[in-house]
Amino acid sequence: MSATRHEPQTVLLTGAAQGLGAAIARDLAEAGARLLLIDRDATGLETVARDCGPETRFAVADLSDAESTLCALRAFGDAVGEIDTLIHNAAILNPIAFERETLEGFRRTLDVGLQAAFLLTQAVWPGMARRGGGMLVYVSSRSGIMGFGDEAAYCAAKHGLEGFSKSMAEAGAPHGIASVTITPGMPMHTPMSERNYAPEMKERWVEPARLVPAFRHLSVERPQGLSGQRLDAWAMSQELAGAP
């Protein structure tokens, strides 16, 4: 994969307090990236930010709430205009039979997945366009291409994110802004998966740290020619590691 290096990079990352987001944050900090982190878990977020170093900035926000999301962005001030990569990792997965799903629960899942994606992208877009480039990375899943009976809200959010990313790829092309979705590609061992995975999936899950090379590559190397694609973090990380 050809790449253009722009260092140091400024990365806005959501869902950074635990799981995949925390692993990505720590790895990007090691790579020298400047980080802006968002999560609703204040304690976890403070811990990750501390691990990532004194230049890391963070904001506690409920991404299902538009004003809370905008407040977090305002807290970052002018730094939002310098963001090179957006990684929207935050999501809600609460499996529930459709007949028991509530409008409130449905909307909350969609708002974290899609409303936040829109607001965050809209915030970083002007700076990326002004500087002639940027990378938008939206974390998806199998639920973005398949349907699962107890995941009406989550599937809707991830399917929507896939379409949103494709639209951003088209809109961003004249400005050098690339947009991709990326799936873990393997079951991950995270607090969310501990609650929701079936036993057979838990038998083969991997630690999030094994998937972060893909996110480092996208954020730090800024590879060319991927915009509009749906990527697999496990496959990409294996390829970067030279695995057969």
Annotated catalytic residue: which of 154, 164, 215, 234? Answer: 154
Could you confirm whether 154 is annotated as catalytic?
Answer: yes
Distance of CA 78 to the CA centre of its chain: 21
Q: For residue 204, what is the enclosing H or E element? A: none
Q: Would you call 56 helix, strand, or coil by DSSP?
A: coil
Q: What angle do CA 169, 224, 164 make, to 5 degrees?
A: 15
Given phi > 0 = left and psi -120 to 50 = alpha, else beta, which region is 19? left
C-alpha neighbours within 13 Å on the C-beta side of residue 22: 17
Q: Which of 173, 189, 169, 147 is nearest to 231 (CA)?
A: 169
Enumerate the active-site residues.
154
